[in-house]
Chain A
Amino acid sequence: MTQEKSPRELELQRLQEDLEFLEGYIKEFSEFLPLPICTANPLNIILGINQSFRDFTGYNEIEIGGREINELFLEKKEAMALVKEISQKDARVVKEMTLLTKDKKKIPVSVCGLSRRDEDGNFIGYFLALSDISESKRFQEELEDRVKEKTKELEKRTKDLQTSRTALMNILEDVDEARRRAEEEKNKTLSVITNFTDGLLIFDEKNNLSSINPQAEVFFEVKAQNLIGKQVSELITFPAFKSLIELVGLKIQEIFRKEMRLKENLILEVTTLPIIRKKEKIGKLAILHDVTREKMVERMKTEFVSLAAHQLRTPLSAIKWTLRMLLDGDLGEITDEQKDFIEKTYSSNERMISLINDLLNVTRIEEGRYLYKTVLADIETIIELAINFYKEEIEKRKLKVEFKKPKERLPQIMVDIEKIKLAFQNIFDNAVRYNRAGGRVTVSLNYDKKRIEVMVKDTGVGIPKEQQERVFSKFFRAANVMRMETEGTGLGLFIAKNVIEAHGGKIWFESEENKGSTFYFTLPVQ
């Protein structure tokens, strides 16, 4: 006989079955959860754990079940405070603590607790869920370490910076001092440049005008601000600069005391120099020196001498002609004594005329209009004629004169015949005049395709060594010849040198006192 169950019994059985199912479900669910969870009663005794909890802590149910919750944590007091808070609250309580595992590892964890209550709201225990925060903790610590490190570094850097700053300040002070000194120097230099009586133009290494002083502004009648920074090639468009740039060229070549007429009444002497710093050319300086006054004085002097010489010539000519006519008997008979006196007067007059001629030659040299007409001529013939001119004088002094000509015929050369004759005569005249009685004069010609060399050698008094460097100066007469003959202008060799150099030749000499002198000059063959 089948024992019939009452509906009540059936209901109970069904509820029990439901409950068992639910328990199984929860168990399975909690086993499956990846979060370590445990449950505890109000006395903090651990009741149950899930699989994750076992994996995480290393404890199984037997080992941990029945033990007090705070055994799980390093911070016992905090653990007690946490569970107390959980019991009092209905909400989740979270706290960071350190988990002690079975094998004594300490793992930072975030503990999340939630109280369990019965239907009447009585506290019946709680859940604790643990989550491993060691990663984030480590990360945070690392972060903190790095922050610390950075901070330290920053501090160090700050310190370094402070040190550097102090050093920098010191340097700056030094630099300041140096700059102040440089500034002072610059101001000094500037005021020198500004107040300089010569005009100054300074160009940089690219030939841009970098500075122009007030004097130069006056010379060129320009304003500095319109010109600074301009290239030489731009400056040429200013009419005032035309003649300067024509003189120095676009590259500003170096010149020394070249004359330039800027205006009718303004003549400048221009010198350009490189500005060199540490062996490097960093620019160019043009110095403009006003020589208008000097030139004027020079011209007046030249004009005066020229005028005086011309004016002197007329009475000297009259005297010459009168004496000549007297001597020739054109003005009646004269006695021998009278004739003797007149002859001496005549020769004095001749010397005066030749002095005037010399002075005129010198003024023409200085006026720069000396060589007049160059023609192809035979130097041999010129010299022969000049020597012939001295025939009487040579016989009177009993000199032996030898003219050594080369065997081959010399080429004709371009010369101003009168001037070359004069130059040779001035040299030859000294060889005759300052020779000893019965002495020797040798004239020789040499030729080497490029030039003809003329040599005049004498056995005369020679030139004192200490006076030799002045031989070609204007009005120079050596001390020993002044004792011999009071006449002589001291212009002969000055004129000779100018004539030879105007022809593109050279003149020089060798001399020994009391033995003789040898003069040489060359003339180029074209």
Chain B
Amino acid sequence: MAKKILIVEDEEILIDLLQRKLTNEGYEILVARDGDEGLKIMQEINPDLVLLDIVMPKMGGFEVMEEMAKDSELKKIPIIVISNSGQPVEIDRAQELGAKDWLIKAEFDPQEVLDKVAKQIGK
């Protein structure tokens, strides 16, 4: 059975690109356009991994991680943050909240995202 990845991201083009790249690799992709929606989907369909943006409407990435950390089930889901920013203070906070990895969008290629995902949950 295909591994389920939830992409929580508000930038349409990035969603398209990630979805395409990951689908090609055989993952099942779920998409949420903000943190609020992301949490709802997580509770319904317990995904294998979350690709999480930080700056989003309604609920941001940090709040999503805080909510996940409170939930005994959700906190088991590995998170890879994909953010525009990469300030050490933000990366440290994400790690404290249980994020497995942090990707700065402008510095990574989609292939590298794929590698990070594979590293967490396998192909």
Contacts and interface: CB of A to CB of B under 8 A. Distances in A.
Interface of A: 310, 313-314, 316-318, 320-322, 324-325, 328, 330-331, 353, 356-357, 372-373, 418
B43 interface: no
A321 B105 CA distance: 9
Contacts of B11: 314, 318
Interface string B96-119: 000000000111011100000000
A325 B89 contact: no
Nearest to A327: B109
Given A314-B14, A321-B110, A330-B24, 6 more contacts: A310-B85, A318-B14, A320-B106, A322-B13, A324-B111, A418-B88
B121 interface: no
Contact of A313 (B84, B89, B111): B84
Interface of B: 11, 13-14, 17, 20-21, 24, 55, 84-85, 87-89, 92, 105-107, 109-111
Contacts of B110: 321, 324-325, 328, 330
Contact of B21 (A310, A318, A330): A330
Majority-rule SS of A interface residues: helix
A316 B106 contact: yes
B111 A328 contact: yes
Majority-rule SS of B interface residues: helix
Contact of B84 (A317, A321, A373): A317
B88 A356 contact: no
B106 A356 contact: yes
Tell which of A316, A321, A328, A372 has the most Cβ of chain B within 10 Å: A321
Given A317-B14, A330-B20, A330-B24, A310 B84 contact: yes
B10 to A, nearest CB: 10
8 interchain residue pairs of minimum CB distance? A317-B105, A372-B88, A318-B13, A313-B84, A324-B109, A317-B106, A353-B106, A321-B17
A331 B107 CA distance: 21
A313 B107 CA distance: 10
A15 B70 CA distance: 167
28 contacts: A310-B84, A310-B85, A313-B85, A314-B11, A314-B14, A314-B105, A316-B106, A317-B106, A318-B11, A318-B13, A320-B106, A320-B109, A321-B17, A321-B105, A324-B109, A325-B17, A325-B21, A325-B110, A328-B111, A330-B21, A330-B24, A331-B20, A356-B106, A357-B106, A372-B87, A372-B89, A373-B92, A418-B88
Contacts of B89: 372
Contacts of B20: 325, 330-331
Contacts of A317: 14, 84, 105-106
Contacts of A325: 17, 20-21, 110
A317 B13 CA distance: 10
A422 to B, nearest CB: 13
Contacts of A313: 84-85, 105-106
A318 B17 contact: yes
Contacts of A328: 110-111
A322 B88 contact: no
Contacts of A356: 106
Contacts of B55: 310
B80 to A, nearest CB: 15
Nearest to A418: B88
Tell which of B55, B84, B88 has the most Cβ of chain A within 10 Å: B84
A270 to B, nearest CB: 30
B84 to A, nearest CB: 4
A372 B89 CA distance: 8
A328 B88 CA distance: 31
Contacts of B109: 320-321, 324
Contacts of A322: 13, 17
A418 B111 CA distance: 23
A325 B110 CA distance: 7
A314 B13 CA distance: 10
Contacts of A316: 106
Contacts of B107: 353
Nearest to A419: B88
Contacts of B14: 314, 317-318, 321
Contacts of B88: 372-373, 418
Contacts of A318: 11, 13-14, 17
B120 to A, nearest CB: 20
Contacts of A320: 106, 109
A318 B13 CA distance: 6
B94 to A, nearest CB: 14
